[in-house]
Structure 1
């Protein structure tokens, strides 16, 4: 993590030693044994096929014939990939074996596993269709085991933290712990992938692997791992969600992040470094709250002559005076003084840093407990970072700098972040670390505390105990926003919905515009880490002051306001395998472009929001005001609403030149969305204090619903069913709207069913009539005339024409006011009473910004559309055409997609594959009229440059 770290660069060579090659020439016999089918090959080798259920099986070939569990990365480890039985005793009961003209078939009732006698290959059919087929027999050598499958022109996903990638078709990836945290690097590999052909595969191994998803365009994919055994689980399903869910059933449900984990975290070492007062222009000078400038020194770097003048950091500021400002307590106070949300704090994040300066571990633990007590009093939780084992080497004689995680838990610690120096071996080492930590938490806390662990070196199964952190990034560089967007998307497709990264990097910085853009998009992601102490500037949201502070505050507050929605989609990720950061195709599977890199810089935040981060300087002025191109809004029947301004856009278009001033992250909410909200809060304690009120914002359109999830936000009791859910539905017919808030089902410790309910309904005009039923009782509402009256009364309504979804942005634009009907109902028992609201006179008619124009033959059609060969590359095509003098913009039809609001007579389509063909047509647009389409032109990307293998 830090600069002292030695990075372990793994070998990515695909070369294999051919000694002791085992060729599966043909199958001689398939027999049914107790618990598995045994496959006999000509040279005496046998394999086993375990039927786990009707759609899942394990295929295992072991030349040693021991059929043991995979070798751990080193002795003494007990990492476990699978949480379910993978020996197939139950699934065998309904499976039958048949001899066929080509060999044998195992029928599970849902799939047929076909074993071909002559060439020793396997295929799987489902509903009469070949879903998976080996192109040649499995190859086993001393150094690697290779499977080659036929590529059915499918899309592939998975592989873990593959930086810069979410779609893998045509790609080579490494299932290797490279600890390389740049684009194309691999931080937390996962030997799991799945195909849109309808199957998924988990290799049961802890060895490095190399997967080639048809990069050579030879209609084959190959996967290998550096071992001489082949062990894989195959599962089959009809949809992406079902495939990810099948992975979770095998390897464990994702851990549900506690509520405090969704608030920003601050991490630094507060028990190691020294500070010396310096002049403001000295290198490394940082201004502190006392108005003076100080420079930080690690102990090894502190000149002897400066030590008498130095001030050492502490957790609790026990030395008092000017030294207090260098304590963890003081930093926590700065967040709250600056009105910045914060949920948890890691006070020992640094090599050689502990949490106390006494001469005993017991004394240091007492110091830690004092900080925990103080942080908790402010509503903030405390975690710890570790670079070492979690127990003293000699428990009877612990050293002051030892760690004893069990006693740290007793002291009140609620989170743990691992480091590369500890788990950097990866594979079973990293997985063993997080699973061991989770067991310690269960041992000490039982179900009173859910595991909240953040790790950098994951594997298959990591998601059931841990969040993954994407590694050390560099702040102040657009690149580290750009490639993280598809990385986050790919994490969800790899079965890991909980993802974390550094805010504006751990290193670098000094670019307020990039800092703000990073805070904006990450407000619509799971976990945000301020990794302080290593950058060119302090890493916190208030370091730059001025506009940057205000915008960072606005987006952190926005995240806190959306906490009920965030927690609900986090529960979806845990229980139904729907990622929080959601690939576009998961909700819109019939759009071909959504499986490609054309949409790698946008995603869905749950089911209701589309986020298109600003990830580069496209046309920025000095103040950071920019535009965003290539925002693909799906579904021509769907209306998408600019979340902050209320402007409406029709789907089925790729919009360009979208105005994105510095204050604005492009975020769209679906018409029909129901979003649970809360007032802005700075700490999770403040959020839990709001449990007697609930708020829903409704965007009426057709029929829609949303299930709001809640639990105690802290314990593991949700796993035993201690949670509550409330279904909210909306039905708009013509101008009549019906909203139903069902009775809350379920309960948990601390649940209070007595709640005040606020419903905010987007409508362009005041209602004609409102009828409310709470249970069987009709409630009479009083109209009020101001927000102040609305806040102070119950059973009232207010037609608010100055509604702000984020009041912290109001000084930055005059276009933020929207019109909402606001209804507030008095306290009622939500477990006993359903609420029905009927509103007549709703105006949800869209006034589209991007209305499709009608064709007008009198307008000039662009001519001479052609590929610009000089600007075309292996991953982009540039086209240009003869400008039309009298038009407002142009539209392009690119393959299946409509690109709109193009201002120049040229366009570059990027994020393409090498040597792929695409068709282009152009037309000119003036107001709501468009010329006829011009001629269709076929264009092609260049060949990819050859990369020398090192």
Structure 2
């Protein structure tokens, strides 16, 4: 009897073990075999892993449109088993994988619980979902180019590439509460983790909308597949997210200058007024007025519009008002425009000569007859891309076009029940289409031009940062859209997409022209990652001289300031490439535990040192600013402020409020009319000494892809302020690239009057004025502004040390 009881007990144990499941391990992969599903965990790093649920036990092959990296170095982790859970431990995380039912509890190495999934249903007839416990102090950021809110706690967020449904504004057809030109299914929590929902299907994120103690993320189709990304800081999370989906490449250095768009003299319904003389004349006027710019593109009205798709189709045939397109390109390039591009659409149409739509239908290179828009190019098919390039783009590239603006990537819609490539549903292909559409010309022009790629695009999804740059789309010229556009730039930067821009002054006008709005928007535009001037309004197109003398002066002031900041901006573009650190950064990324920063969309950091505070209210005579921890300087006056306080300031129309973080070192160059117009013979370091600080300036050839081979240079500048002594050092450039020769000048705010200054041990003379510093080696101290000006003899061929006592 006793033997029978022992046998029955053992059977029950084995049956119990079989019922709750088992696991197998191979390298970075764990597979849990459960009663009703299989779950795969792939470890990418100590703090990042993928979770993939499968009901039928099959896991789909790795896709390549969103995620580009599935091959990670071995991760050191251990697995132990308890009665109710498997315990997985890495260098920074402890994961409890509960057995029955299966769900995860993730803690940091100190035992702090970061993330707890709920024991709730995951699989539904029309969707898959994960529910998670929401902590009382937890807030959520990211989600792509959202214009509605920053902190999404308490919101319901729908992500799908679209313009948005709902009530239409007076101008355009966008619903600001839902518009998703570039949604990204990635979010970051102030608890120190992020979630990337690895799906191309539309998603819904219920971030406590109907329940204050939990949130969920749901996909309307596909598998339940997501990545857990530990920080604990936001910068680490977005860096790891882009380790998966791809880093932003370096753009040409001149792309940090101003981009200018034009309708060539005639917008829609005024196409007969276009001409091939308008763009060169526009360039000439910009140069005559002394307005720096580097790139130009011709928007849609360069093309012949057929009756099939109207202005929504692309014929690649010139409108009859363009008599000599090649001469037009040549004239623009002769005026030192560095790249000239053209607007295209993803839908082909027939023109009088080429009949591209008919040809593409015959070859099968359009998504036809499955697509609702029958001329949709099948950019998923490499053969279709080659055909489109040869028969369409090369017809204009041969004349001088060097890039394209890929507009309307949201247009792919398959008919009900139809499948696309690899058997994928249309709702999944819809979100991937902008990636394929932007990639094609980016890679083709990169090869043709024998330089870094550049594509100007509107729609995107997870991974679009690989094909920069993206712009915010067609928002009206109204005050109500101004701050939401700023918010969009901050949210998309936190979603891994740092090369972003917008139309200064809005895209299209509905009512009377508003010079104040134009001036304020231009100020913000010059402190955006990409600076772009473009508008649809006929006949102004936001050209600055059409707004009057004050607007012109304001435009030139901030355009020139941007050009002087190119060394600083370009260095931050490298940081974006290297670690996905946004050039335009919300304050919450630097101050995640300061709730005052959670919804600040009227202030942001431009690089690590400059806080930009656009004035977004009409007729505002003053505006409050929040200063987070640390000390700050007023860029215009040098006035100092302590952090952790709100202050109100006057807001004259021609001044953009800019505040500099104490410790800042900002490299600046002479103003130029285009990038590379002249050598940077003097590099000015704008320094705001406070304790010990440093900044590494990045340099390369600005054009080739040699930086991918490690051919670049970093020059480290450091500042040390201690008890009435200040030391500034410029080290020799380090790296495989040899920069052009720069002599150094320094501007620094100091609260003491120097008694002597030495450069590399040699005493510098005291000069009589700031003006004298521009022409002689020596120094001058402005007692009123407490600002020191030094013209140094040393250059970047040696280490330079400046000691101020």
**TM-score interval (norm. to shorter):** 0.7 to 0.9
The one of 212, 220, 235 aligned to 2:214: 220
Question: Residues 409 and 460 of structure 2 are in contact (CA less than 8 Å); yes or no, is this contact kept in structure 1?
Answer: no
Q: In structure 2, do the counterparts of structure 1 residues 524 and 228 end up closer, same or farther at CA, with 3 Å as the change threshold? A: closer
The one of 328, 332, 335 aligned to 1:375: 332
Q: Distance in 1 between matches of 2:722 and 2:404?
A: 51
* Secondary structure of 1:715's aligned partner: coil
How big is the shift at 1:409? 5.1
Residue by residue, what CA displacement relative to the aligned partner does 1:419-447 show, whole Å, maximum 9, x if unpaired? 116766651100111222232134434xx
**What is residue 664 of structure 1 aligned with on the other side?**
655
Q: Distance in 1 between matches of 2:389 and 2:91?
A: 59
* Secondary structure of 2:774's aligned partner: helix
Question: Residues 190 and 494 of structure 1 are in contact (CA less than 8 Å); yes or no, is this contact kept in structure 2?
Answer: yes
Q: Distance in 1 between matches of 2:793 and 2:755?
A: 22
Gaps of 5+ in 2: 1-17, 165-173, 306-314, 349-353, 364-385, 414-429
Is 1:838 matched with 2:800? no
Q: Distance in 1 between matches of 2:318 and 2:536?
A: 25
The one of 93, 99, 106 aligned to 2:81: 99
RMSD: 3.3
**What is residue 926 of structure 1 aligned with on the other side?**
none
Question: Residues 70 and 204 of structure 1 are in contact (CA less than 8 Å); yes or no, is this contact kept in structure 2?
Answer: no
Describe how 1:623-702 pairs up with structure 2 within 5 A.
626-629=621-624, 631-635=625-629, 638-656=630-648, 658-686=649-677, 689-702=678-691
How big is the shift at 1:767? 2.7
How big is the shift at 1:838? 0.8
Question: Residues 756 and 763 of structure 2 are in contact (CA less than 8 Å); yes or no, is this contact kept in structure 1?
Answer: no
How big is the shift at 1:765? 6.4
Is 1:725 matched with 2:721? no
Residue by residue, what CA displacement relative to the aligned partner does 1:571-628 show, whole Å, maximum 9, x if unpaired? 222213321111213223342322x22x2321111221112211113xx3xxxx6110
Q: Distance in 2 between matches of 1:728 and 1:768?
A: 23
Is 1:336 matched with 2:287? yes
Q: In structure 2, do the counterparts of structure 1 residues 32 and 705 end up closer, same or farther at CA, with 3 Å as the change threshold? A: closer
- Normalized per residue, the structure richer in strand is 1
**What is residue 457 of structure 2 aligned with on the other side?**
455
Question: Residues 694 and 716 of structure 2 are in contact (CA less than 8 Å); yes or no, is this contact kept in structure 1?
Answer: yes
Q: Distance in 2 between matches of 1:479 and 1:102?
A: 54
Is 1:821 matched with 2:788? yes
Is 1:157 matched with 2:136? no
How big is the shift at 1:542? 2.0
How big is the shift at 1:205? 1.5
Is 1:120 matched with 2:102? yes
The one of 157, 160, 163 aligned to 1:179: 163
* Secondary structure of 1:94's aligned partner: coil
Question: Residues 446 and 454 of structure 2 are in contact (CA less than 8 Å); yes or no, is this contact kept in structure 1?
Answer: no
Question: Residues 359 and 400 of structure 1 are in contact (CA less than 8 Å); yes or no, is this contact kept in structure 2?
Answer: no
Q: In structure 2, do the counterparts of structure 1 residues 421 and 489 end up closer, same or farther at CA, with 3 Å as the change threshold? A: closer
Q: Distance in 1 between matches of 2:631 and 2:218?
A: 45
Is 1:573 matched with 2:564? no
The one of 748, 755, 775 aligned to 2:742: 755
Question: Residues 585 and 591 of structure 1 are in contact (CA less than 8 Å); yes or no, is this contact kept in structure 2?
Answer: yes
How big is the shift at 1:345? 0.3
**What is residue 435 of structure 1 aligned with on the other side?**
439
Q: In structure 2, do the counterparts of structure 1 residues 421 and 268 end up closer, same or farther at CA, with 3 Å as the change threshold? A: farther
Q: Distance in 2 between matches of 1:424 and 1:758?
A: 54
* Secondary structure of 1:330's aligned partner: helix
Question: Residues 187 and 471 of structure 1 are in contact (CA less than 8 Å); yes or no, is this contact kept in structure 2?
Answer: yes
TM-score by length of 1: 0.70
**What is residue 503 of structure 1 aligned with on the other side?**
504
Q: Distance in 1 between matches of 2:612 and 2:581?
A: 17
Q: Distance in 2 between matches of 1:201 and 1:680?
A: 43
Describe how 1:554-565 pairs up with structure 2 within 5 A.
554-565=557-568
Residue by residue, what CA displacement relative to the aligned partner does 1:2-46 show, whole Å, maximum 9, x if unpaired? xxxxxxxxxxxxxxxxxxxxxxx9843333357632222323x32
The one of 190, 200, 205 aligned to 1:206: 200
Is 1:767 matched with 2:754? yes
Is 1:146 matched with 2:129? yes
Residue by residue, what CA displacement relative to the aligned partner does 1:522-559 show, whole Å, maximum 9, x if unpaired? 22211232223436843122211121111122111111
Q: In structure 2, do the counterparts of structure 1 residues 191 and 399 end up closer, same or farther at CA, with 3 Å as the change threshold? A: closer
Q: Distance in 1 between matches of 2:699 and 2:788?
A: 26
**What is residue 426 of structure 2 aligned with on the other side?**
none
Q: Distance in 2 between matches of 1:212 and 1:113?
A: 24
Question: Residues 274 and 321 of structure 2 are in contact (CA less than 8 Å); yes or no, is this contact kept in structure 1?
Answer: no
Q: Distance in 2 between matches of 1:200 and 1:400?
A: 39
Question: Residues 182 and 461 of structure 2 are in contact (CA less than 8 Å); yes or no, is this contact kept in structure 1?
Answer: yes
Q: In structure 2, do the counterparts of structure 1 residues 125 and 533 end up closer, same or farther at CA, with 3 Å as the change threshold? A: closer
**What is residue 342 of structure 2 aligned with on the other side?**
384
Q: Distance in 2 between matches of 1:400 and 1:98?
A: 55
Is 1:419 matched with 2:414? no
Q: Once structures 1 and 2 are overlaid, which stretch shifts more, 666-675 or 108-117? A: 108-117
Structure having greater relative contact order (Cα 8 Å, sep ≥ 6):
2
**What is residue 275 of structure 2 aligned with on the other side?**
314
Question: Residues 267 and 349 of structure 1 are in contact (CA less than 8 Å); yes or no, is this contact kept in structure 2?
Answer: no
Question: Residues 794 and 800 of structure 2 are in contact (CA less than 8 Å); yes or no, is this contact kept in structure 1?
Answer: no
Question: Residues 713 and 739 of structure 2 are in contact (CA less than 8 Å); yes or no, is this contact kept in structure 1?
Answer: no
Q: Distance in 2 between matches of 1:792 and 1:763?
A: 22
How big is the shift at 1:782? 4.2
Question: Residues 717 and 729 of structure 2 are in contact (CA less than 8 Å); yes or no, is this contact kept in structure 1?
Answer: yes
The one of 31, 35, 43 aligned to 1:42: 35
Q: In structure 2, do the counterparts of structure 1 residues 725 and 455 end up closer, same or farther at CA, with 3 Å as the change threshold? A: same
How big is the shift at 1:96? 3.6
**What is residue 698 of structure 2 aligned with on the other side?**
709
How big is the shift at 1:705? 1.3
Question: Residues 406 and 441 of structure 1 are in contact (CA less than 8 Å); yes or no, is this contact kept in structure 2?
Answer: no
Residue by residue, what CA displacement relative to the aligned partner does 1:350-409 show, whole Å, maximum 9, x if unpaired? 48459xxx9988999995554443333322221222113699665999999996435655
**What is residue 61 of structure 1 aligned with on the other side?**
53
Q: Distance in 2 between matches of 1:531 and 1:587?
A: 32
Question: Residues 304 and 319 of structure 2 are in contact (CA less than 8 Å); yes or no, is this contact kept in structure 1?
Answer: no
Q: In structure 2, do the counterparts of structure 1 residues 703 and 403 end up closer, same or farther at CA, with 3 Å as the change threshold? A: farther
Q: Distance in 2 between matches of 1:574 and 1:745?
A: 19
Residue by residue, what CA displacement relative to the aligned partner does 1:882-931 show, whole Å, maximum 9, x if unpaired? xxxxxxxxxxxxxxxxxxxxxxxxxxxxxxxxxxxxxxxxxxxxxxxxxx
Q: Distance in 2 between matches of 1:423 and 1:260?
A: 31
How big is the shift at 1:242? 0.8
Describe how 1:738-749 pairs up with structure 2 within 5 A.
738-748=727-737
How big is the shift at 1:163? 0.9
Q: In structure 2, do the counterparts of structure 1 residues 593 and 389 end up closer, same or farther at CA, with 3 Å as the change threshold? A: same
Describe how 1:528-547 pairs up with structure 2 within 5 A.
528-534=531-537, 537-547=540-550
**What is residue 153 of structure 2 aligned with on the other side?**
169
How big is the shift at 1:822? 2.0
Q: Distance in 2 between matches of 1:423 and 1:727?
A: 47
How big is the shift at 1:662? 0.9
Residue by residue, what CA displacement relative to the aligned partner does 1:208-255 show, whole Å, maximum 9, x if unpaired? 101011123431111011114211122222211111111111111123
Question: Residues 161 and 410 of structure 2 are in contact (CA less than 8 Å); yes or no, is this contact kept in structure 1?
Answer: no
**What is residue 298 of structure 1 aligned with on the other side?**
270
Question: Residues 160 and 494 of structure 1 are in contact (CA less than 8 Å); yes or no, is this contact kept in structure 2?
Answer: yes
The count of residues paired between Structure 1 and Structure 2 equals: 719
